A = this chain, B = another copy of it.
Amino acid sequence: MMHKSLTAVNDSTVAGLGRLARFFGFSEVMGRLYGTLLMSPEALSLDDLADTLRISKGSVSMNMRALERWGMANEVWMRGERKKYYQAESDLWQVIRNVLDSRERREVQLALQVLGESVEKLQSANETLTPEEQELAKYYLERMDDLQAFFQFAQMALETVLGGQETLDFDSVTKIEIG
């Protein structure tokens, strides 16, 4: 049995990462698995994880594969062992980059593409519209502009975070410049 304070810290971290995972659109179990691995100095097997979190082996298997795909956990080969062992990717910066790169980036690019197509559609249809429809088209174009500005902002923020230094850590981001 472990000291009470260690258990408490472990539990609240696991719970907090579960919460954070939901917040980011992942399943809570993924977050808790990640938290459990992060708080373990040694790599853990699927059975260890199922045991610790009291969830089925099947769920652990599926969720760990998802964590692996997201670059949040890595398999560790233990010589002379048949079990699979996992450890958390403990470089949080790397985790963020993985997620932003494979998920948010796509989302933003898709949005910008659709918006661009909409603008084109409106412009090329303009001559075939009644005066009343032209009014509405003009209004639509304003909305498209607003949305484009928003997504371009998002894109810029993403590229800044993703495109930059490999070695960047959170402490080195000092300022977001407005001008």
Contact = CB atoms under 8 A, between A and B. Distances in A.
Contact of A146 (B92, B136, B137, B161): B92
A77 interface: no
Nearest to A137: B6
A157 B177 CA distance: 11
Contacts of A130: 3
Secondary structure at the A interface, as helix, strand, loop or mixed, is: helix
B149 A169 contact: yes
Interface of A: 2-6, 8-10, 12-13, 16, 20, 23, 25, 38-39, 41, 90, 92-93, 96, 107, 111, 114-115, 117-118, 121-122, 124-125, 128-130, 133, 136-137, 139-140, 143-144, 146-147, 149-150, 152-153, 156-157, 160-161, 164-165, 168-179
A172 B168 contact: no
Contacts of A136: 2, 6, 41
Nearest to A146: B92
Given A118-B12, A118-B13, A171-B149, A165 B143 contact: no
B23 A143 contact: no
Contacts of A139: 41
Contacts of A161: 176
Nearest to A111: B16
B172 A13 contact: no
A6 B3 CA distance: 66
A177 B178 contact: no
Given A10-B140, A118-B12, A176-B176, A3 B133 contact: yes
Contact of A92 (B8, B92, B147): B147
